Structure 1
C-alpha cells in the first residue's frame, strides 16, 4: 500500500520546538519525494552543508534514497569539521504511530558526540556510518553492513 504525501514544512521544526531545543535553525534545500532527488539536488545539499556555520547538521530526508544521499555527502568531503546525521521516518511525523520524533531526537543527540567528519544515517535508534549503511529488503530496517 502506498501513501500520497504532500511535502510541507519540515517536521523537524515542530519536533525541535516541542522539545524546546535551543540554538537551531532550519534551511530547506529541496522539497521533493526522495525518489525524485537528482544529482543537482544532492550538490545543492553539499553546498548548503559546506556554507553552514554550524558544526552539527541534521538532514531530514525521505527514506527511499536517504542512504544514497548520505553517501554522496560523505564522498563530497562536505562533512569535514562537522557531524552530519541523516534522518527519516517510516511514517510522516503527523501520522499516528510515527517514528519521526524519536528518529529526529536520536539524530540531534548523536551529532553532539560524533567526531567531526562523520556522516551517519539515524533510523530505529541507531546511528549507522553512511559508508556501511544498507537497508534490509526483508525487514525494511537500516543495518550496518560489515
Structure 2
C-alpha cells in the first residue's frame, strides 16, 4: 500500500506571518496520524496543493505514479473540493487497483480527529476490501467514487441517492 499526499485541507497549517492557511510541502500531518501505528506505511508527498488549484497535469502526475508503482493499493490524501473530479479521472484509467481518496473538511492542525478518522478508515478499508475500484472515504462513509459526493451546502460528503 502506498499513501500519496497531494495536499488539501487535511495538510493545511496556519501561517502566523501572513494569517493564511497554507498547504506545506511536507507530510507532517500524515506522519503524526500514523506515529502510533505499528506498521510502517510508504508515504509519498507529490503535489502539495489546495485541490482547487489542481489541474489536469496534477491528475496525470497522480496517474503516472500509480501506473509506475509496484503497489496495487493506494490511498490518496486529497482536497475535498475536487476529490470527485480526480476520482472520476482515475476511474477512466484504472480498473485493476484499489484507490481510496480521503481528506478532511478541517485541517489536522485545527481538528485532528476528523483527519485521523478518515485516514484510519481508509487504511482499514484498503486492507479489507478485495474488489478493485476508485473509492472515496469521508465523513464515516466509504463508497465507490460515483456513490458519494460533497454537499457544499452542508459541508460534508453524502451518499448519492
Cα drift, residue 26 of structure 1: 0.9
Q: Which residue of 1 aligns with 2:110?
A: 95
- The answer for the alignment partner of 1:17 in structure 2 is 35
Unaligned segments of structure 1, at least 5 residues: none
Which piece of structure 1 moves more, 48-57 or 11-20?
A: 11-20
Separation of aligned partners in 1, 2:48 and 2:42? 17
Could you tell me which residue of structure 2 aligns to residue 107 of structure 1? 122
Q: Which consecutive aligned stretches of 4+ in structure 1 deviate over 3 angstroms post-superposition? A: none
- Match for residue 56 of structure 2 among 35, 39, 55: 39
Query: What TM-score do the two structures reach when normalised by structure 2?
Result: 0.79
When structure 1 is superposed on structure 2, of 131-140 and 53-62 the one drifting more is 131-140
2:141 corresponds to which residue? Answer: 126
CA contact (8 A) 1:121 1:128 kept: yes
| Distance (whole Å) between structure 2 residues aligned to residue 143 and residue 132 of structure 1 | 9
Give matches, 1:51-66, under 5 Å.
51-66=68-83
Q: What TM-score do you get using the length of structure 1 for normalisation?
A: 0.86
Q: Distance in 1 between matches of 2:40 and 2:70?
A: 12
CA distance in 1, matches of 2:130, 2:86: 20
From 9, 22, 28, the equivalent of 1:6 is 22
Q: CA RMSD in A?
A: 1.8
Secondary structure of the corresponding residue to residue 49 of structure 2:
coil
Q: Which consecutive residues of structure 2, in runs of 5 or more, have no partner in the other structure?
A: 1-13, 15-19
Higher relative contact order (CA 8 A, sep 6+): 2
Tell me the CA shift for residue 13 of structure 1: 2.1
Aligned residues: 141
CA distance in 1 between partners of 2:150 and 2:23 (Å):
23
Deviation of residue 43 (structure 1)? 0.4
SS in 1 for 2:22: coil
